[in-house]
């Protein structure tokens, strides 16, 4: 069942899973505003592995689940789906700060896609700039 866990006029965070990473919506909002601007309408959804797999199959023709999917809807509106189970190893407990770093790293990655970047050195440089600005340690999810 979907549950909105954070809402502001141009940003909402919803979880479709029992537990979402322990990260504050206010931090994610600040990151979103810095990368895409305050007027950009964004919906962030924490979703299950199976839902991520269905979306990835439908929109990218890939059989495996994705850790993050970004969908531009218009020039100033988009959606991001993050599946923590696609990158989290349940056998390897992680500290809250490590989970926050991984989640925000993924989130910035998705925002860069919505900004028009494709994988490569320019995108990596852009992501690094935002991680440094927000003092987020790089994370290997």
Residue 11 has what pLDDT?
A: 92
Backbone angles phi, psi at 23, to 5 degrees: -130, 140
Residue 77, pLDDT > 60, answer yes
Residue 86 has what pLDDT?
A: 74
Do 34 and 115 meet the contact criterion of CB atoms below 8 Å apart? Answer: no
Region 119-133: what's the mean pLDDT? 96
Tens of pLDDT, residues 14-61? 888 776 676 788 999 999 999 999 999 999 999 999 999 999 999 999
pTM: 0.89
Q: Domain locations in the chain?
A: 3-133
Do 18 and 51 meet the contact criterion of CB atoms below 8 Å apart? Answer: no
The stretches of the chain forming alpha helices (DSSP H) are 25-36, 49-60, 96-114, 121-133
User: What's the token pair of residue 87?
Assistant: 């990158």
Residue 101, pLDDT > 90, answer no
CA atoms within 13 A on the CB side of 25: 18
Residue 35 has what pLDDT?
A: 97
Higher pLDDT, 141 or 47: 47
CA 74 from centre of chain = 18
Q: Could you confirm whether domain 3-133 is CATH 3.40.390.30?
A: yes
Residue 31 has what pLDDT?
A: 96
Residue 132 has what pLDDT?
A: 95
């Amino acid at each position: 069942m979907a549950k909105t866990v954070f809402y502001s006029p141009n940003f909402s965070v919803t979880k479709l899973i029992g537990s979402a990473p322990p990260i504050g919506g206010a931090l994610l909002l600040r990151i979103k505003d810095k990368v895409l601007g305050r007027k950009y309408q964004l919906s962030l959804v924490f979703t299950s592995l199976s839902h991520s797999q269905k979306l990835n199959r439908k929109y990218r023709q890939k059989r495996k689940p994705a850790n993050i999917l970004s969908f531009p809807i218009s020039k100033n509106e988009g959606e991001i789906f993050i599946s923590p189970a696609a990158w989290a190893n349940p056998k390897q407990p992680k500290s809250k700060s490590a989970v926050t770093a991984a989640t925000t790293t993924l989130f910035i990655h998705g925002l860069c896609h919505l900004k028009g970047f494709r994988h490569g050195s320019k995108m990596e440089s852009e992501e690094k700039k935002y991680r440094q600005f927000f003092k987020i340690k790089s994370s290997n999810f």
